[in-house]
Copies of this chain bind each other. A is one copy, B any other.
């Protein structure tokens, strides 16, 4: 493991036994970055460092199954992605329960509540409850944000066992910042995670967007190896008053309790991991 040999540099074409699929993934990523704009085979080949004709073959296959659509002579993301994305979200039990539970939160139902899952050092946002606040502070579903600066991310990271956390932070020195208040160093992050563990919830005080504060709690995964989830409440800093915040924190803890696997919560920990679902 000390042997840090550089195998390849471009996309992870490396050792896949189905390189066309790996490359298709790279193409989808590239199209997602240039959001909305169509890209032709030549441009994609240039960006990904792959042969032009291979790209064309894969894009045509992707177009046939609907994952991309043709815009004139180029390609853009296709509508089947919405279908499959919806199917994925529907398959995550927490998402369904999240929507139900959010509506019956005392104070939290008025605010913007979000559900996300940890993936590496990023959070993928899976669900959003829109409160009655007119301002749309939140990011769209499917968006990814750094776990190191978000309330959801810090709540999730704080729940990892130390070895796992070290593995994810391995090789990181400085953290890319989003605002002036963003934690910029790994040491600062570790110190904040200690506070999160003791406090029981995470705070993002204008670390992602200026003027906006978030509170986050961890929600454990239900299957082995499934990264922890987290829920957060987002509000304008002016609304985060001393009397309102405690109510929101209580709602978050209630939400986390309800979204924790009932089977796992009901039975005392210590039994074997055999859990029958559905």
Contact = CB atoms under 8 A, between A and B. Distances in A.
Q: Of residues A12, A67, A80, which shows the largest number of chain B Cβ atoms within 10 Å of its Cβ?
A: A80
Interface residues of A, number: 62
Interface string A16-36: 111111101110100110011
Contacts of A70: 225
Interface string A65-78: 11101111000111
Nearest to A34: B91
A46 interface: no
Nearest to A79: B124
Contacts of A101: none
Contacts of A12: 64
A223 interface: yes
B83 A84 contact: no
Interface stretch (A54-62, A148-156, A158-166, A231-239): A54-62
B17 A86 contact: no
A67 B25 contact: yes
Given A77-B84, A81-B84, A58 B18 contact: yes
B83 A82 contact: no
Given A25-B65, A82-B85, A83-B142, 14 more contacts: A21-B24, A21-B65, A22-B64, A26-B65, A32-B84, A36-B91, A66-B119, A71-B223, A81-B85, A85-B88, A85-B141, A85-B142, A86-B141, A89-B140
